[in-house]
Structure 1
Amino acid sequence: MGRAEVGTPKYIANKMKSKGLQRLRWYCQVCEKQCRDENGFRCHTQSEAHVRQMLIIGENPQKKIADFTEQFKRDFISLLRSSHGEKPINANKFYQEYIADRNHVHMNATRFVSLTEFVKYLESEGICNVEVDEKSREGGFTIAYIDNTPEAVRRRQLAQKRERAGDDDSERERKVLEAQIKKAQEEIEKKAAGKSAEEENNEKTKELQRSDQQPIKIGFSLGSGKASGLAKKPAIPLNRPKKLLKMK
């Protein structure tokens, strides 16, 4: 059966399928060719071009595997840094993003047998922070890139300095608040003490007051006239003698 002619619907459908992500076991990293099914992959491995490439690699297979491993690690880390930065992401989920590009180096061409082994390698080399992912449905591990560039180091130091400054401000505010609370308590205690003293004085004043409401009487005497300096005037008789009346 011949190939579909250019421009036909079948040709376009085949092109669209070829752009999509296929199974890794049907991908030939040596020839950089993606096969669509097992039959196609078997036919490719029996082709003359594939056999010729395998003979070339067979002369020094360790060097070729090392080159594939280095290229895979470089592309994987570069995509992780550019797309997610230092934010954590599930390793399986990110690997699906990585293999979405059909031109990448596949893991089956490297020295790493599984993704778990590669993730542990990144942790041991200090390239990524790795933690067990318990929240995600995919499970596995979460990876977060560690940026050790001078700019990133300065940025982290500045963030730590700001955090410490924030802690100092919080501690200062806490001390001021405690001092205000202590001062308010002292004022309350002083007011309570003054009130109790005033009540005590009022009680003493009430004790000194008379219980009966009778008026107080004060007696005094003026004494004799001499003592008082007042002289008695002689009394004038009203009936004069008759002799005196006649002389007038």
Structure 2
Amino acid sequence: MGRAEVGTPKYIANKMKSKGLQRLRWYCQVCEKQCRDENGFRCHTQSEAHVRQMIIIGENPQKKISEFTQQFVRDFIALLRSSHGEKKINANKFYQEYIADRNHVHMNATRFVSLSEFVKYLENEGVCKVEVDEKSREGGFTIAYIDNSPEAIKRREIAQKRERSGDDDLERERRFLAEQIKRAQEEQEKKKESESNSNSGSEEVNKQATKELQREGEQPIKIGFSLGGGKASGLAKRAPAVPLNRPKKLLKMK
């Protein structure tokens, strides 16, 4: 059967099916051709074009595998740096983003057998920071790109200087607050001492006053006071003394 003509319903259906991702096992990296099922992939491997490409690669297979590996690593790191920067992301989730491009280099054409092996390779090379992802549902590993460019190093140095200056400011504020608290405590202690001294002085005065009022031996306490003003006292002096026991005279009757 020949291919469907352009514009026919079968051609449109085939194009719609080819838009989505197909299985990796049915993709030929040498010919860069994606097959839809096992039968199509078998037919492709028996074709003359595929056999010719395999003969060329068979002369030096390690060279072609290393080329695919280098291209895969380069494209993977470039997408990670441009899309996520130095932020953490699940490795499996990011790999799904990477293979969304149909023209990417597939992992089965490289020397890496699995994604976990490739992630460990990135960690050993110092390209990414890898951690075990225990919180997410996907599990696996989280990767974060390590930017070692001169611009990134300068940015890190500036950020470290800012953090140090911020720490210095915090230390100064803490010292200033500690000094204020110490001064307030000293002033409070001084106030307490002055209050205690004033209370002790008043107690001594009260003791002296009570001592003055105390009796000396058995002598009575004499208190002098005067009644009335000066005029009243003068009148009292001028008035004749009236005898209290004067005998009454008998009145004679005429």
Q: Answer yes or no: same fold by TM over 0.5.
A: yes
Where does residue 26 of structure 1 map in the other structure? 26
Q: Which aligned pairs between 1:136-151 and structure 2 lie closer than 5 A? A: 136-151=136-151
Q: Which aligned pairs between 1:32-111 and structure 2 lie closer than 5 A? A: 32-111=32-111
Single out whichever of 203-212 and 167-176 deviates more from structure 2. 203-212
Where does residue 198 of structure 2 map in the other structure? 198
Aligned-pair Cα RMSD in Å? 1.7
Where does residue 250 of structure 2 map in the other structure? none
| CA distance, structure 2, for counterparts of residue 16 and residue 74 of structure 1 | 30
The alpha-carbon deviation at position 192 of structure 1 amounts to: 0.9
- Which segments of 5 or more consecutive residues in structure 2 lack a partner in the other structure? 215-220, 226-254
The alpha-carbon deviation at position 10 of structure 1 amounts to: 3.6
- Percent of aligned positions that are identical: 78
Structure 2-normalised TM-score?
0.81
Q: Deviations over 1:52-87 (max 9, x none)?
A: 110110011010001000110110111111111111
1:207 counterpart = 2:226: no
3-state secondary structure, aligned to 1:131: strand
The alpha-carbon deviation at position 16 of structure 1 amounts to: 2.0
Where does residue 230 of structure 2 map in the other structure? none
The alpha-carbon deviation at position 43 of structure 1 amounts to: 1.1
Where does residue 6 of structure 1 map in the other structure? 6
Change over 3 Å in CA distance of 1:140–1:215 after alignment to 2? farther
Q: Deviations over 1:150-194 (max 9, x none)?
A: 100000111111111111111111111111111111111111111
Q: Deviations over 1:115-156 (max 9, x none)?
A: 111111111111111111111111111111111111000001
The alpha-carbon deviation at position 2 of structure 1 amounts to: 5.0
3-state secondary structure, aligned to 1:54: helix
Where does residue 131 of structure 1 map in the other structure? 131
| CA distance, structure 2, for counterparts of residue 164 and residue 29 of structure 1 | 52
3-state secondary structure, aligned to 1:143: strand
| CA distance, structure 1, for counterparts of residue 22 and residue 34 of structure 2 | 7
Could you list the runs of 4 or more consecutive aligned residues of structure 1 that deviate by over 6 angstroms after TM superposition?
none
3-state secondary structure, aligned to 2:142: strand
Where does residue 159 of structure 2 map in the other structure? 159
1:182 counterpart = 2:182: yes
| CA distance, structure 2, for counterparts of residue 143 and residue 13 of structure 1 | 39
| CA distance, structure 2, for counterparts of residue 8 and residue 193 of structure 1 | 105
The alpha-carbon deviation at position 23 of structure 1 amounts to: 1.0
| CA distance, structure 2, for counterparts of residue 50 and residue 178 of structure 1 | 80
Structure 1-normalised TM-score?
0.83
- Which segments of 5 or more consecutive residues in structure 1 lack a partner in the other structure? 219-248
Aligned residues: 217
3-state secondary structure, aligned to 2:143: strand
